[in-house]
Amino acid sequence: MNSFAKKGAALAACALLVFGLSGCGGSSSSASKDTLRVGVTNFADSLEPTANYFGWQVMRYGVGEALVHFDDKMRPEPWIAESWLVAPDQMSWTFKIKNIKFSNGNPVTGEAVKKSIERTFAKAPRAQAMFPLDHITADGQTVTIYTKKPIATLPGMLGDPLFIIVDTSAEGKQDFDKQAPISTGPYVVKSFSKAKTELDANPNYYAAVPYKHAVVNTIDDPSTRAMALQKGEVDVAVNIAPGDLALFKDKSKFTTSEIDSIRDVLARLSVKEGKPLADPRVRA
């Protein structure tokens, strides 16, 4: 087992794993100490953040960022935006944007953020369902979002991966679907497939990136994923099955992180007479 795994590489039920922010620490003693290898349940059919819910993977694996993200109590806090204010009439929010760059070196300005959010609304009907946009204005490093009615939770909504900020001027030069959008995350995509995605550190990232390279391996079967971690084939495994957690109890070798799901699951059962579930033994 490599030294990274010994220091801590098992992550169970991880809600948001972003390279460099996973909390694992350590370094790999494998052939390449500057490469982080991750085993996941699935990646994405596309890297276009406005398609389906694929923005979650684009954000989770360090490629894209939004104006805000959330702390451990699910409160929005600055990310690409360094601060924000709501207007007295509650009909607009103004965000001040950090002086940072996209991965291609272009500056992230208020105008760039404006165009990115407008692109999201043009391509994803789900955006309008989240909040009713009226229009957006930009001035230097600020962007103001006007809504058709007061939206008290607008900053939090803009933390959804649907609203990853991308450089719209790169469209046509790069295929966002197959090569990933130009964004601000710590990693850029070197190669992409559902089976394996390779990433390199973003040379224009505004903070230190702990690994020069990262490899995301899709390992659908949870037992196979656990075995890969045991063998040292991956440094981090996401969503370890409950039945396999006992394999990683040795705290000198593994760090296991567990988190309660924020999802609610509702099951509707038909218990009408004559139906299979009418029998309490079947329901049990």
Any idea what the CATH number is for the domain that residue 106 is in? 3.40.190.10
Asked whether residue 69 falls in the same domain as residue 168, the answer is yes
Q: How confident is the model at residue 124 (pLDDT cuts 50, 70, 90)?
A: very high
Backbone angles phi, psi at 214, to 5 degrees: -145, 145
Residue pLDDT, tens place only, 8-52: 333 333 333 333 222 333 334 444 789 999 999 887 889 999 999
Q: Which comes out higher in pLDDT, residue 3 or 246?
A: 246
Residue pLDDT, tens place only, 184-242: 999 999 999 989 999 999 999 999 999 999 999 999 999 999 999 999 999 999 888 88
Asked whether residue 20 falls in the same domain as residue 97, the answer is no
Asked whether residue 158 falls in the same domain as residue 235, the answer is no
In sequence order, what are the beta bridge partners of 78?
Answer: 68
Name the pTM for this structure: 0.81
Q: Is residue 171 domain-resident?
A: yes
In sequence order, what are the beta bridge partners of 218?
Answer: 40
Asked whether residue 227 falls in the same domain as residue 146, the answer is no
- Residue 15: per-residue pLDDT: 30
| CA–CA distance, 280 with 284 (Å, rounded to integer) | 6
Q: Is residue 214 domain-resident?
A: no
Q: Is residue 111 domain-resident?
A: yes
Q: What percent of the chain has pLDDT over 70?
A: 89
- Residue 67: per-residue pLDDT: 98
Regarding beta strands 256-257 and 10-11, do their DSSP bridges make them parallel or antiparallel, or are they unpaired?
Answer: parallel
- Residue 53: per-residue pLDDT: 94
- Residue 165: per-residue pLDDT: 98
- Residue 19: per-residue pLDDT: 33
Q: Is residue 177 domain-resident?
A: yes
Q: How many CB atoms lie within 10 A of CB 181?
A: 29
Residue pLDDT, tens place only, 208-219: 999 999 999 999
Q: Is residue 281 domain-resident?
A: no
Asked whether residue 137 falls in the same domain as residue 4, the answer is no
Residue 158: closest CA among 48, 71, 81, 265: 81
Mean pLDDT for 126-151 is 97
- Residue 30: per-residue pLDDT: 46
Asked whether residue 19 falls in the same domain as residue 135, the answer is no
In sequence order, what are the beta bridge partners of 84?
Answer: 95
What is the domain range of residue 114? 42-191
Mean pLDDT for 106-113 is 98
Q: Is residue 106 domain-resident?
A: yes
- Residue 4: per-residue pLDDT: 29
Residue 59: closest CA among 198, 148, 151, 159: 159
Asked whether residue 13 falls in the same domain as residue 121, the answer is no
Backbone angles phi, psi at 215, to 5 degrees: -125, 125
Detail the DSSP E strand segments found in 24-108.
Answer: 35-40, 68-70, 76-78, 81-86, 92-97
Asked whether residue 178 falls in the same domain as residue 82, the answer is yes
Asked whether residue 24 falls in the same domain as residue 152, the answer is no
- Residue 262: per-residue pLDDT: 74
Asked whether residue 173 falls in the same domain as residue 65, the answer is yes
Q: Is residue 54 domain-resident?
A: yes
- Residue 130: per-residue pLDDT: 95
Asked whether residue 46 falls in the same domain as residue 131, the answer is yes
Estimate to the nearest angstrom the gap between the alpha carbon of 14 and the chain centroid: 11
Estimate to the nearest angstrom the gap between the alpha carbon of 9 and the chain centroid: 19
Per the listing, tokens 């049990």 go with: 284
Q: Is residue 266 domain-resident?
A: no
Asked whether residue 61 falls in the same domain as residue 170, the answer is yes
List Cα–Cα distances, 117 to 10, 125, 148, 164, in angstroms: 36, 13, 16, 8
Q: How confident is the model at residue 7 (pLDDT cuts 50, 70, 90)?
A: very low
Number of domains in the chain: 2
